[in-house]
Amino acid sequence: MSVTLIAAPPVQESFLREPGAPLLVWAHRGGSSSAPENTAASDEVARRAGVEWIETDVQPTKDGVPVVLHDETVDRTTNGTGPIRSLTAAQVAKLDAGSWFAPAFAGQRVPTLASQLGGLLARGGNLLLEIKNEHPLESVARIVDEIHGRGMSKRVFVQSFDPQHLRWVRELAPELPLGLLRSTLDPDPVAIAKDLELTAYNPSEHAFRTRPGIVTDLHAAGVAVNIWTVDNPTSWAALEQAGVDGFITNRPAELMGWNAALGLLRAP
């Protein structure tokens, strides 16, 4: 069987959305409503839906290899047990990361960051890379090395809840766009955005709804606002009207379709 490769999407120059333009779609852990999260399969679902950006979570193994996993342990999403930081890369490579989701995905692996980046190079897509949970400087440096080693700076956007991670990335890779994740809003989002030289400020839907006016202030400062994790059309419509730039969603294919339908309805 021949497999058609998909060309890489064009590099994004601006993350600010013009009024009425489609929302930017960031596929949360890949196409994670249709395939096991953070695997090559969920990357492919997002890619085939035409999504430009695949969100992923990266953590180090015991021996310092960056791998793609959301939880602190492998228990929920693999057939193994234990903290990811207590397992070597060789141990992690043997785990089944697909059967928990559906038998058809048996044999999916916990990707290394290297293999995920390789998949993007071969098959298309860009990465919204969350530096997840605790990382020492050496771990962040290893992640940056993986990106630089493949010449992928223009296809990676880094985000974290931890401002220190973003400061380290800014020092190690000044060219990479940065996003700050937030579960509650900062007293002055513009001030922290300027301090960290953010491209995007990414609050949860709940946090954003406490003060939707931040979008005006952040846009005035040139900073995009992406909301997570937004999976239903009622929220998509309300937040689109509020002027946000994009959604990190578990339903990227549906959001791509919703974007297209909204464009048709608004067409003159």
* Interatomic CA distance for residues 92 and 95, integer angstroms: 5
Q: Are 67 and 91 in contact (CB under 8 A)?
A: no
**By C-beta, is 24 or 181 nearer to ligand G3P?**
181
Answer yes or no: 219 catalytic: no
| 187 CB-side CA count, 13 A | 0
In this structure, what token pair is assigned to residue 74?
């492998």
> Which is nearer to ligand G3P, 120 or 248 (by Cβ)?
248
CB of 33 to ligand G3P, least distance (A): 13
Q: Cβ of residue 2: shortest distance to ligand G3P, in angstroms?
A: 35
Q: Which of 37, 43, 52, 57 binds Ca ion (CB under 5 A)?
A: 57
> Looking at the DSSP assignment, which residues form a beta bridge with residue 27?
54, 249
- Residues at the contact surface with ligand G3P, assessed by CB under 6 A: 28, 55, 57, 70, 130, 181, 228-229, 248
Q: Which is nearer to ligand G3P, 44 or 130 (CB)?
A: 130
Please identify which residue in 37, 44, 52, 130 interacts with Ca ion, judged by CB under 5 A: 130
Which does residue 248 touch among Ca ion, ligand G3P, none (CB within 5 to 8 A, set by kind)?
ligand G3P
Closest to ligand G3P by CB, 104 or 160: 160
- 135 among known catalytic residues: no
Pick the stretch among 38-46, 130-138, 197-205, 216-224 that binds Ca ion (CB under 5 A): 130-138
Piece in contact with Ca ion (CB under 5 A), picked from 35-43, 77-85, 128-136, 258-266: 128-136
In the complex, the residues that contact Ca ion under the rule CB under 5 A are 57, 130
